[in-house]
Amino acid sequence: FLFGFGMTLASGCGSKTLIRIGGGNLKSLVVLVFLGISAYMTLRGVFALWRANGLDPLRFDVTALGAAASDLPVMLYDVPGRAGRAVATETILRLAHEVPTVVALKDAGGDPARAARLLAEAPEGFEVYSGDEPLSLAFAAYGAVGVVGVSSHWTGRQQRDLWDAVAKVDFSAARAVNAGLLASFEYMNNDTCVFSQAVKVALGELGLTVGECRLPLGPPPPDTAARARPVLTDLGFELS
C-alpha cells in the first residue's frame, strides 16, 4: 500500500525516477533527493530504531516463509553494494538454524572474517561462498568452499582450479591461479563500466548472444571490447 502510494506521488518507482532524471525531469530530481534522505534516515537516528524493531523482524519472517515454501535448497545472497546494507549476521544464523532449506550464503559483504563466525555457529553442512572474487582467497582461508562471481562467466576453468587447490590446502597453487585472474578482476568493474556491462561485452567477444543491459544502464563505454580482448586471449581464448 505504502509503495503504491509513494509511486503515485513520485510518478514512478526508483528505477523510473532515474530514467526520468536522464530525460531532464526536475520533479524526479526532487524525488531522488527525498528518496536518498529517507533511506539514510532508516540507517541512523530515530527512524533506524523503527526499522530495526519493526521492519527487520518482518523481513526475516517473509524470507523464512519463502524458503520454507519449497524443499529446494536455498542460498542466501548478502550483497550490500546492491541492497544498501548488509544482512545482519544474527539474521543469517537464525535462518540457517530455523529454516532447513537454507543451506548456503553468497557473501559479498567484503568481510571474509565473518565467514569464520558463520561457519562456527551455523548448523553442520551450512556453506559460505565468496561473493567478491578479489577476496576469494581470504574467504577460503576462513572456510568458504566456492565462489558465486562475475568473472566466473569466462574464468570458470580457472576458478575450479583455484578452489580445487584450496580443497587440497595448497594455497601456493591457489595464489598462482589467483594471480592469473587479476586482469579479469580489474576488467569486470571500474569507474566507467559496471560489471553487468563488462560481462555482456566479454561474452559477446566469445561469440555468445547476450543482448544489451536493461535500463537504467546504457550501452557500455566504447573501449570496453578493446579492454576485454587481451584479458580473454591471455586466458587462452581464441577470438575471431
Catalytic residue positions? 77, 106
Query: How are beta strands 102-107 and 127-130 bridged, if at all?
Result: parallel
Long-range contacts of 200-209 (CB under 8 A, 24+ apart): 201/225, 201/228, 202/153, 202/154, 202/228, 202/231, 202/232, 203/153, 203/154, 205/229, 205/232, 205/239, 206/154, 206/232, 206/237, 206/239, 207/240
25 three-class SS? coil
Q: Are 147 and 130 in contact (CB under 8 A)?
A: yes
Q: Are 182 and 209 in contact (CB under 8 A)?
A: no
